[in-house]
Amino acid sequence: MPTRVNLSQNEASIVIAIEPLEDSNAVELGRVKTIVSILENWIEANASFDAIPDDKKMGRAKAFMAQDLKVQIALAELHKQSDLLTKIADGSQRIEDHGLPEFQDD
């Protein structure tokens, strides 16, 4: 699935090509929608926090930073697991080596 990321100082865009665009690609489309939703929420959270007046920001800073760290940890785990999924799909890793022997290849 070709992906193109364009970054500038004031803008970022991501283009993900799913071809052919058919019902058989529903899983891929669903995954893209989920990731886009997560990214939108994270960006919106940062914008909302940045918009808080300075005199009120300190009161929320600790909670915001703690939750942001939880999101970063979850995303790091998601990245690790999606990388493993790719390796299981291409055969370079086996699921039974990662704690799920009941799903091993026959």
Contact 6, 12 (CB under 8 A): yes
How far, in Å, are 8, 43, 50 from residue 13 at the CA level? 9, 13, 21
Cα separation, 72 vs 104, whole angstroms: 30
- Tell me 10's DSSP state: S
| DSSP H stretches of helix in the chain | 26-51, 54-90
How confident is the model over 7-17, as pLDDT tens digits?
Answer: 888 888 888 77
Range 19-25 average pLDDT? 69
Can you tell me the distance from the alpha carbon of 68 to that of 78, in angstroms, rounded to the nearest whole number?
15
Q: Which pLDDT tens digit goes with each residue over 56-81?
A: 999 899 999 999 999 999 999 999 99
